[in-house]
Structure 1
């Protein structure tokens, strides 16, 4: 009898160590695609793990974080449209409140140096604070969100598994969201396979012509295989007098930043309409028409769009069609349908 009790005494701690509460959180090995530039995000301060990612995903899709219990991050960032609010000129938040800017895509965030159209934050882990606390987006409250999570069995388990100490607080909440967003990498389009000389990367003649024209006339701003140089520029949009969005000036208060907005990545551009910071264009054709014949000489117009008084970028209809053919090679269907990123 003593032997049986002794064996039970030895086995019981092993059973406890294998319980869900002591789940061994597995690190995620983040690999930079070979055709991408270097990382901007510092993973040493927030190492991605399986449970950190899982927690971030749950937070991303949880409408209970908003004041109306409906508007989650995923409400305005839909996976099949590269995490944009497809079809909406500007984003819509709690109580159907409308903002003044179009929801940008969430993809390859770990390679970017600033976020939001005006670069309001340069740290990905802090970016969610802006939409979360905005009265016209989620109208969230950290105290209420933390209280909700502390009363949710699944959140209690995930926080314990994802972070040392398992504390449910705003820091860990934001870190988990940061891990989820940092791992939303789009790098398997036809173009990527072409660049890496992989199967499925054969480009047509029109697509290759479009790529050559793009490199000649567009790549100075939409640079590298991320298709953005992470800069802020005035691309000559006519100013909407009803909104008069002054762009990056909101952040820096520098006159030289008036009407400048972040150069967006063009990845998955086929799926992210409408376009521009205010969603004024619904087609790629309209975007190219703007650059060829619609540029307005507003304050701080980018120098590349003013050639000795001639505004815009000269493009023939054939060149436009070929550029669009090329841009469609940037659609990454694997990213847009990956179940790892999906709500359910």
Structure 2
């Protein structure tokens, strides 16, 4: 609740200086993607701001004891998720409450985190920084530390034409960097644009995906960014979206994640309960649990055959973007 109230305050600061949206040539927006949700209306994006945000993203100075950075839980090689960990390790060896969701195509998302508790890209950095189970830091302390660093003062000078460092500028810079994390060059994208074709098994999986999955995992971003109860439980230890809305109809609902680079981002679901895609598909095939808020897009189960399960995985493999996970501009 503390970080939620603080975010409301920061939102007021940002909205007070809001201006008309600007065209951003530094962000390479794929021609086959829809118009982004985020529009950089609050500040003028420049390469220096992106470079500053990248430096901050990889610097443990943002954590209480300078032990972890944003990149500690968001690895580029794993689609900016935390591979192999159901819950990420924070300051004081504490565990996060939910699985570390991959950071990709963020400027198309209207909300962030599994419960949608943040609704603006420029505020996404604040939540993990302030969370006592993650980075456990105070923005005022970060500003003081950064100002004592000559290199950072020079970076802020290049980005904002003055070396004044504020919490708002820290968050703006992080948003500028994260906005560049666009994945759009997978084999799937080539097929979507008519530049390649699926093989027989991939095409079989794609047809199953179109039949059963696209209502939530909408193409080409592979998410509709809504919140759904996908039948993981009958009772909910984690209330999900309902923790934000306080609405009983949102119990057990979580944000629909993108499937881009999905083979690299295991374990899966908000609590990392599934270690493999085989387990995920088994769940949707025959493991869906009924509850009052279960998504109306889901039947009791899709009852896939072994060959259908294999084909689905072959299709999901085409969503891996090697250019994204190896792009030197991101690290």
TM > 0.5 between the two? yes
Q: Is the 8 A contact 1:52 1:162 kept in 2?
A: yes
Q: Which residue of 2 aligns with 1:5?
A: none
Q: Is the 8 A contact 1:28 1:49 kept in 2?
A: no
Determine whether 1:265 maps to 2:258: yes
Q: 2:46 aligns with which of 49, 56, 65?
A: 49
Determine whether 1:187 maps to 2:187: no
Measured after TM superposition, the shift of residue 215 of structure 1 is: 0.2
Determine whether 1:276 maps to 2:273: no
Bigger Cα displacement from structure 2, 179-188 vs 43-52: 43-52
Q: Which residue of 1 aligns with 2:220?
A: 225
Q: Which residue of 1 aligns with 2:126?
A: 129
Q: 3-state DSSP class of the match of 1:301?
A: coil
Q: Is the 8 A contact 2:181 2:330 kept in 1?
A: yes
Determine whether 1:317 maps to 2:310: no
Q: Is the 8 A contact 2:234 2:290 kept in 1?
A: no
Structure 1 residues not aligned, in runs of 5+ = 1-26
Measured after TM superposition, the shift of residue 28 of structure 1 is: 4.5
Q: 1:207 aligns with which of 175, 184, 202?
A: 202
Distance 2:235 2:134 in 1: 22
Q: Which residue of 1 aligns with 2:164?
A: 167
Q: Is the 8 A contact 1:28 1:48 kept in 2?
A: no
1:88-124 deviation digits (Å, cap 9, x = unpaired): 0112111110122100000000011100000001100
Distance 1:45 1:151 in 2: 27
Q: Which residue of 1 aligns with 2:77?
A: 80
Q: Which residue of 1 aligns with 2:96?
A: 99
Distance 2:200 2:163 in 1: 55
Distance 1:28 1:71 in 2: 32
Distance 1:141 1:248 in 2: 26
Measured after TM superposition, the shift of residue 48 of structure 1 is: 2.5
Q: 2:229 aligns with which of 208, 219, 234?
A: 234
Distance 2:143 2:96 in 1: 26
Bigger Cα displacement from structure 2, 63-72 vs 282-291: 63-72
Q: 3-state DSSP class of the match of 1:59?
A: helix
Distance 2:44 2:218 in 1: 28
Measured after TM superposition, the shift of residue 277 of structure 1 is: 0.4
Q: Which residue of 1 aligns with 2:211?
A: 216
Measured after TM superposition, the shift of residue 31 of structure 1 is: 3.2
- The Cα RMSD (Å) is 1.4
Q: Which residue of 1 aligns with 2:285?
A: 292
Q: Is the 8 A contact 2:89 2:96 kept in 1?
A: yes
Measured after TM superposition, the shift of residue 320 of structure 1 is: 1.1
Q: Is the 8 A contact 2:98 2:271 kept in 1?
A: yes
Distance 2:292 2:271 in 1: 18
Measured after TM superposition, the shift of residue 238 of structure 1 is: 2.1
Measured after TM superposition, the shift of residue 213 of structure 1 is: 1.0
Determine whether 1:141 maps to 2:138: yes
Determine whether 1:335 maps to 2:331: no
Distance 1:324 1:116 in 2: 25
The structure having more radius of gyration, on CA atoms, is 1
Q: Which residue of 1 aligns with 2:10?
A: none
Bigger Cα displacement from structure 2, 158-167 vs 286-295: 158-167
Matches within 5 A, 1:242-261: 244-261=237-254
Q: 3-state DSSP class of the match of 1:103?
A: coil
Distance 1:312 1:260 in 2: 18
